[in-house]
């Protein structure tokens, strides 16, 4: 494992650190977490500042090590989270960067990088969650357009997105065409006629995700990334980014939270409970190791060139549970105040309940680790 940084990388870190120290105090106040339009404006505004300072393309234009340094430094400085830009910067963006044509890269990456357009992810369907490949939203060719009909669910930020990375079926499932074939990856403009977005409330009370009904939505064939019927492979590229690097910044955030928890526990006396103390100690060791695992995954990806590997599943599996345990520990520290929604950690505890479900459930990640890494026989 290579843990040393080149002089150039160190210079990148110092420059970034200085810029953050100058810039963060000038940011506008954080918007209400339940106000998505305001959050979109805020998140895109932050991206615009990054762009103006030369950090706009860091999520895929820089080396993986620089990317890691970027995530580490911004998180440690308490810079805004990618938020409404999650899909654009960490999901669709890297996919288009890796799989798109020059024209597509120019059309879609630039506005994301400049903080002008936000994306959402339209993969899951009511009957295709864990079994994503069984998706049924159908795209029929009509000249130089696809006519798309079907429904999507759990589409995060759909209401404030300009574009949607959409998985569609371009060839029906048949004995000759198994479900993984026949899928295509399209960029859908969210203002196209025929799209209805119905917000869904999360258990935390926010309308963070939505149902999306598509009724004969016309999408240019030129908006397809990758070959027709080759969308599953493109999707695997997308998902490896999701599991590989998309959560890196949050590991740093968790380490910060641990420090704050310890300080709060020392102050309110709960630090005297050896069980709680040890829980926090163990979590600290784990988040330290998760950070090392990330560095390792990234340096492997850098060495082998490109896409993060299945190591992402190992990381995601432990990380999502460890982060839930972190907020259980926070509830211990808070005591009766853990029942107060005005406490930031209480809201975070509610959000953390999705970590073992979103981006592939823990059960599915365990299947991936067991079957693809350990080579155990595939179950049904």
Partner 1 sequence: MKDGFRALLAGRFGREALRAAVGSAEEKERSLDRRLWRELGDAGFFALRLPEADGGVGLGLPEAVLVFEEAGSALLPGPLVATHLAAGEVKGAATGETVVTDVDGQLVEWLAEADHVRGDASGARAIRSVDPLTPLHRVGSAQTGISDAAVLLTAALQLGSAGRTTAMAVKYAGEREQFGQPIGAFQAVKHLCAQMLVRTELARAAVYAASVTGEGLDAAGAKLLADDAAVRNARDCLQVYGGMGFTWEADVHLHLKRAWVRSAQGPTAAQVEERYAAAL
Ligand X SMILES: Cc1cc2nc3c(=O)[nH]c(=O)nc-3n(C[C@H](O)[C@H](O)[C@H](O)COP(=O)(O)OP(=O)(O)OC[C@H]3O[C@@H](n4cnc5c(N)ncnc54)[C@H](O)[C@@H]3O)c2cc1C
Catalytic residues, by residue number, are 242
Contacts of 282 (CB under 8 A, 6+ apart): none
| 134 touches partner 1 by CB under 8 A | yes
Q: Nearest distance from residue 202's CB to ligand X, in Å?
A: 6
156 binds, among partner 1, ligand X, none (CB under 5 to 8 A by kind): ligand X
Choose among 110, 203, 118: nearest CA to 158: 118
Long-range contacts: 270-278, Cβ < 8 Å, 24+?
A: 270/332, 270/333, 270/335, 273/332, 276/329, 276/332, 276/333
Q: Nearest distance from residue 150's CB to ligand X, in Å?
A: 13
The rounded distance, in Å, linking the Cα atoms of 73 and 232 is 34
| 123 touches ligand X by CB under 6 A | yes
| 359 touches partner 1 by CB under 8 A | no
Site residues for ligand X, 137-176, by CB under 6 A, read 154-156
| 357 touches partner 1 by CB under 8 A | yes
| 153 touches partner 1 by CB under 8 A | yes
| 364 touches ligand X by CB under 6 A | yes
Nearer to ligand X, 229 or 354 (CB): 354
Q: Which residue has the tokens 């155990």?
A: 376
Q: Does residue 147 contact residue 114 with C-beta atoms inside 8 Å?
A: no
11: exposed, middle or buried (Cβ count in 10 Å: 0-12, 13-18, 19+): exposed
Q: Nearest distance from residue 218's CB to ligand X, in Å?
A: 21
196 binds, among ligand X, partner 1, none (CB under 5 to 8 A by kind): none
Angle at 100 between CA 81 and CA 128, to 5 degrees: 70
- Which one among 11, 34, 54, 130 touches partner 1, defined by CB under 8 A? 130
Q: Nearest distance from residue 353's CB to ligand X, in Å?
A: 8
- Which one among 121, 206, 223, 245 touches ligand X, defined by CB under 6 A? 121
Q: Which residue has the tokens 């100690």?
A: 281
311 binds, among ligand X, partner 1, none (CB under 5 to 8 A by kind): none
Mark the segment that binds ligand X (CB under 6 A) among 55-63, 122-130, 232-240, 317-325. Answer: 122-130
| 355 touches ligand X by CB under 6 A | no
Q: How many residues bind partner 1 (CB under 8 A)?
A: 38
Q: Which residue has the tokens 């993060």?
A: 308
32: exposed, middle or buried (Cβ count in 10 Å: 0-12, 13-18, 19+): exposed
Nearer to ligand X, 154 or 327 (CB): 154
């Amino acid at each position: 494992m290579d843990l040393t940084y080149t002089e150039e990388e160190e210079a990148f870190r110092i420059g970034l650190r200085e810029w953050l120290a100058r810039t963060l105090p000038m940011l506008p106040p954080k918007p209400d977490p339940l106000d998505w339009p305001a959050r979109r404006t805020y998140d895109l505004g932050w991206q615009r500042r990054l762009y103006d300072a030369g950090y706009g393309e860091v999520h895929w234009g820089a080396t993986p090590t620089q990317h890691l340094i970027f995530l580490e430094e911004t998180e440690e400085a308490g810079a805004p989270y990618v938020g409404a830009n999650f899909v654009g910067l960490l999901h669709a963006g890297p996919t288009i960067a890796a799989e798109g044509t020059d024209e597509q890269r120019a059309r879609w990456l630039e506005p994301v990088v400049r903080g002008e357009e936000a994306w959402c992810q339209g993969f899951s369907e009511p009957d295709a969650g864990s079994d994503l490949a069984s998706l049924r939203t159908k795209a029929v060719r009509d000249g130089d357009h696809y006519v798309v009909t079907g429904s999507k669910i759990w589409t995060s930020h759909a209401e404030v997105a300009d574009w949607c990375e959409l998985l569609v079926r371009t060839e029906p499932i048949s004995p000759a065409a198994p479900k993984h074939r026949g899928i295509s990856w399209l960029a859908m403009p969210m203002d196209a006629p025929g799209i209805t977005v119905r917000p869904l409330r999360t258990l935390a009370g926010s309308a963070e995700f939505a149902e999306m009904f598509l009724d004969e939505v016309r999408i240019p064939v030129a908006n397809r990334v990758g070959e027709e019927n080759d969308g599953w492979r493109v999707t695997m590229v997308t998902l490896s980014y999701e599991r590989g690097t998309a959560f890196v910044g949050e590991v740093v955030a968790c380490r910060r939270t641990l420090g704050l928890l310890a300080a709060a526990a020392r102050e309110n006396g709960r630090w005297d409970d050896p069980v709680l103390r040890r829980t926090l100690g163990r979590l600290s060791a784990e988040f330290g190791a998760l950070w090392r695992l990330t560095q390792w995954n990234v340096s492997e990806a850098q060495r082998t060139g490109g896409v993060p590997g299945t190591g992402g599943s190992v990381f995601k599996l432990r990380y999502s549970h460890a982060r839930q345990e972190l907020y259980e520990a926070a509830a211990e520290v808070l005591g009766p105040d853990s029942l107060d929604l005005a406490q930031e950690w209480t809201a975070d505890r509610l959000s953390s309940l999705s970590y073992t479900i979103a981006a592939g459930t823990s059960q599915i990640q365990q299947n991936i680790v067991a079957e693809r890494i350990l080579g155990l026989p595939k179950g049904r």
